[in-house]
Amino acid sequence: MSPEAVVQRQLEAYNSRNIDALLATYAEDAQMFEHPATLLANGAVSIRERFLTRFQESNLHATLLNRVVNLTQMVRRSVVLLNRWWRRVEDRNRLSIMSERELRDIGLSHQEADCEIRKLFWRE
């Protein structure tokens, strides 16, 4: 069964409060964590208890907002984004040590450079 099919089965079982169908997608020794490393449940019995408690909520409903099918592609995009952010930090650091003359040579005023330096790294 593909990872996408497993997630879809989990979503459907969760929304229908079908504990047996939901647990069928988990290994007996599965563990449930709260990010980054807080163990919430250890093993199928413990996971069952957590879900049964959750299933008591009247407004229970999960929606899949985004699905990453190709992990390699996601990692590549993340690396590209991180490199872009790092370049911005480096460029802005270089601007911060440039003299008025060097800024003029690249077509920037001191005020324009200061504005660029103060931007958050994820802002263009």
Q: Are residues 40 and 81 in the same domain?
A: no
Q: Are residues 45 and 76 in the same domain?
A: no
**Chain segment 24-57, per-residue pLDDT in tens:** 999 999 999 988 889 999 999 999 999 999 999 8
Look at residue 123 and tell me if it is in a domain.
no
Q: Are residues 41 and 81 in the same domain?
A: no
pLDDT at 25: 95
Look at residue 43 and tell me if it is in a domain.
yes
Cα 5 off chain centre by: 21
Give the residue numbers spanning the domain of 25.
Answer: 3-54
Look at residue 66 and tell me if it is in a domain.
no
Residue carrying the six token digits 């049964």: 52
Look at residue 124 and tell me if it is in a domain.
no
Entry pTM: 0.54
Q: Are residues 76 and 47 in the same domain?
A: no
Q: Are residues 77 and 109 in the same domain?
A: yes
Average pLDDT, the chain: 90
Look at residue 34 and tell me if it is in a domain.
yes
DSSP-assigned letters across all residues of 14-44: HHTT-HHHHHTTS-TT-EEEETTTEEEEESH
Count of domains observed in the chain: 2
Q: Are residues 88 and 46 in the same domain?
A: no
Look at residue 77 and tell me if it is in a domain.
yes
**Chain segment 62-82, per-residue pLDDT in tens:** 988 877 777 777 777 788 888
Q: Are residues 7 and 41 in the same domain?
A: yes
Look at residue 61 and tell me if it is in a domain.
no
pLDDT at 72: 79
Q: Are residues 48 and 78 in the same domain?
A: no
Look at residue 101 and tell me if it is in a domain.
yes
pLDDT at 2: 82
Tokens (6 digits) for 94: 């270089």
Beta bridge partners of 39: 33
